[in-house]
Amino acid sequence: MGHGHDSDHPPARPGCDHDHDCQTCGAAPVSGLAACPYCRAAYAEADAGVRCPGCDCLNLAARTVCAHCNGTLTRSCVFCMAHTSLDQPECARCHEPFGGAEERKRARMSGASVPHKADPGGVNIFNTLNSILKS
């Protein structure tokens, strides 16, 4: 088994989070990744986070940029513009689900009644509007 210092496996990057070469292929560890970018074996004791859609490398949790290719690991909410990790199903700020968000926003912009996930029946909005109209 090699030690990760040949042309196929570059030396570890400065400030690397891992102490040892990959136990599967011998490549030097890459700072910020939770798995070897060459053989995809998980690094021991690494807190896995998001897989990069650009290079398919598994990054450490809480990273916003891929440690291997610098690709973004977040997406913007179409409602509040907050950035949330790609592995989350909903916005971290407003809790809108990412699935179907574009369509819901278009529907709301056109005046259609599309409830928010936090108030699926629209009860709170209805009660608020009703109390305003009565005053």
- Angstrom distance (rounded) from CA 43 to CA 82: 31
Q: What is the 3-state secondary structure (H, E, C) of 35-81?
A: ECCCCCCECCCCCEEEECCCCCCEEECCCCECCCCCCECEEECCCCC
Q: What is the pTM for the complete model shown?
A: 0.63
| 129-134: average pLDDT | 60
Maximum C-alpha span of the chain: 78
55 burial type by CB count under 10 A (0-12 exposed, 13-18 middle, 19+ buried): middle
pLDDT for 46 equals 85
Give the pLDDT band (50/70/90) at residue 79: very high
